[in-house]
Chain A
């Protein structure tokens, strides 16, 4: 029976990778050992068979299609010289461009949603924590819970209704709410309170600025936002660990921050495209990733809004922008594209379920969502340095990614609480008051 080294020696001989001494040893082995001889013959046969596989010529139109699909400065010469572009080349160019940009747009949209929801969730927890535990000191609201030392309270013994003796009647009423009481009594809540990231976040200036900003306040108070908050799909997406890694990428935060990107997102053509049935179908089918989805693609190509996008100056600005090219060429992007996390997200049932869900499609096509995207306050908020700082804030991300916070958000008490719009509004108002610098 051949040992591992002998088998490796034979394989290496087939590959021409043996040293002269190794080759001599292999020849000797093959001469003396019938089993080695048989293996070497069979492996040579395999190698020979592969050697005989003919090299194929690429399709004759491939080179032209590649050159046609290059970004405008590179394309100009060959295009005008050749004067033709096959329908398939156009299709490819469009699909490639759309795929490159749209995947990030999908992600960016998701990021915005997650960010806003995460912000509310964090604000809610900050306020409840501040009120229920007295940590950290929250100005005039200090001493909200009678008879218990702050340090002891923070260590997290279970709260009871009798502990809550708030002076603010509105907040006091909140603590009469069984949902809140159940939440503050829960283990997951106490665990979240003890999270280091949570404490750092509470101390962050960016967080305080956001909570105090008019733009944030306006968004929270808008009907469009309230409608958006009704979906469970967000939470489903948030629960995908790999998605959080994507969210943390500096590259697409930079892309999102670019003026061209902002312009495109706010353009009527883009919004119209997003709301079109063909586009929705394409997204829902993951059609950018399937060349076979010609029907949806043809429908999309016939769509006027699609042509507007293709002709849209902002779109071309994005394609030509340094930020876009930096994103595409960045190590971060390469890592994302090559990462298991990215593929997990793109291939995950949850992601596809979210993208294909009626809820998501309704949201994307809903007036509320479009209003929100076109909302001046929303754009102001996105452009707000503090908002971006908060997005990039490691503590904020750590907190959102922490098991404790995930569990807290998944807890039925928290979910039923956050579905209650009136309570959420009170929390938001309170957050703005207590966290204002």
Chain B
């Protein structure tokens, strides 16, 4: 049965509490809960597996170092997703502009020939990387994490109207970019 959001939040809080009480196995449990999600967010933001791995590790290390100041009134996932997006944005600022896309994107197209799926993956990757990093963050959280506007606003600490404006503009760009790629 899928975990409800309230139950997930409560479990996060319990793990944070246990970690702060010195029960270090809670760190492993938190990594288990979030590493795949955070790694994929970083991957979509950066388009590079190695960079995504570095960002994910840095986020967890920073999170564990700062866990003492995490305010349990707020949702843990917003906090850690925010760190992931910010660290990814930092990585984009720091790295050389020549970083190439690796095989970060794989498109599942049932019934399609493998080369068609690879082509689609390439198109998606290029279109996404063509967006401004701030817009990309909104698209990633919306399309790959399925966050609501409000959840994206909480993670990025921007108003909902800004989320919508960025998402709609970015999606329009993606539509044009993908359309161009098909032609």
Q: Which A residues fall within an 8 A CB radius of B?
A: 7-8, 11-12, 14-15, 17, 42-43, 45-47, 49-59, 62-63, 65-67, 69-71, 73-74, 77-78, 92, 96, 286, 289-291, 325, 328-331, 334, 337-338, 343, 346-347
Contacts and interface: CB of A to CB of B under 8 A. Distances in A.
B174 to A, nearest CB: 5
A47 B174 CA distance: 10
B167 A63 contact: no
Contact of A67 (B28, B54, B142): B28
Given A69-B57, A74-B24, A328 B66 contact: yes
Contacts, number: 137
B108 to A, nearest CB: 5
The 8 closest A-B pairs by CB, nearest first: A58-B39, A50-B143, A329-B66, A329-B69, A54-B106, A66-B60, A289-B94, A11-B168
Contacts of B143: 47, 50-51
B124 A325 contact: no
A15 B50 contact: no
A291 B106 contact: no
B120 interface: yes
Contacts of A69: 57, 61
B40 interface: yes
Interface residues of B, number: 60
B95 to A, nearest CB: 7
Contacts of A289: 94
Contact of A62 (B39, B40, B67, B175): B39
B149 A15 contact: yes
29 contacts: A7-B168, A11-B171, A43-B171, A43-B175, A46-B174, A46-B175, A50-B124, A52-B107, A52-B108, A52-B120, A53-B106, A53-B107, A53-B144, A57-B36, A58-B35, A58-B36, A62-B53, A63-B28, A70-B24, A73-B22, A74-B24, A78-B28, A96-B57, A290-B94, A328-B65, A329-B67, A330-B69, A338-B86, A346-B94
Contact of A42 (B105, B107, B175): B175
Interface string B134-151: 000001001110001100
Contacts of A325: 65, 68
B158 interface: no
B164 A8 contact: yes
Interface of B is mostly: helix
Nearest to B174: A46
Contacts of A70: 24, 27, 61, 64
B50 A291 contact: yes
B43 A66 contact: no
Contacts of B148: 17
A259 B111 CA distance: 66
A67 B27 contact: yes
B94 A15 contact: no
A53 B65 contact: no
Interface in B35-77: 35-36, 39-40, 43-44, 49-51, 53-54, 56-58, 60-62, 64-69
A96 B61 contact: yes
B97 to A, nearest CB: 12
Contacts of A290: 94-96
Given A71-B64, A337-B86, 14 more contacts: A11-B171, A45-B175, A46-B175, A49-B120, A53-B124, A54-B108, A56-B43, A56-B49, A56-B104, A63-B35, A73-B24, A74-B24, A290-B95, A330-B69
Nearest to A338: B86
B162 interface: no
A36 to B, nearest CB: 14
A58 B56 contact: yes
Given A8-B168, A46-B178, A63-B31, A56 B40 contact: yes
B54 A291 contact: yes
Nearest to B26: A74
B50 to A, nearest CB: 7
A65 to B, nearest CB: 6
Interface string B23-34: 011011001100
B86 A329 contact: no
A66 B61 contact: yes
Contacts of B86: 337-338
B93 interface: yes
A52 B67 CA distance: 35
Contacts of A73: 22, 24
B80 interface: no
B57 A62 contact: yes
Contact of B149 (A17, A291, A347): A17
B179 interface: yes
Nearest to B25: A77
Contacts of A96: 57-58, 61
A12 B161 CA distance: 12
A52 B39 contact: no
Interface string B157-182: 00000001001100100110011000
Contacts of A54: 106-108
Contacts of B11: none
Contacts of A346: 94
A55 B36 contact: yes
Contacts of A52: 107-109, 120
A42 B179 contact: yes
Given A7-B168, A96-B61, A290-B95, A56 B31 contact: no
B105 A53 contact: yes
B92 to A, nearest CB: 11
B171 A46 contact: yes
A67 B56 CA distance: 12
Contacts of A63: 28, 31-32, 35
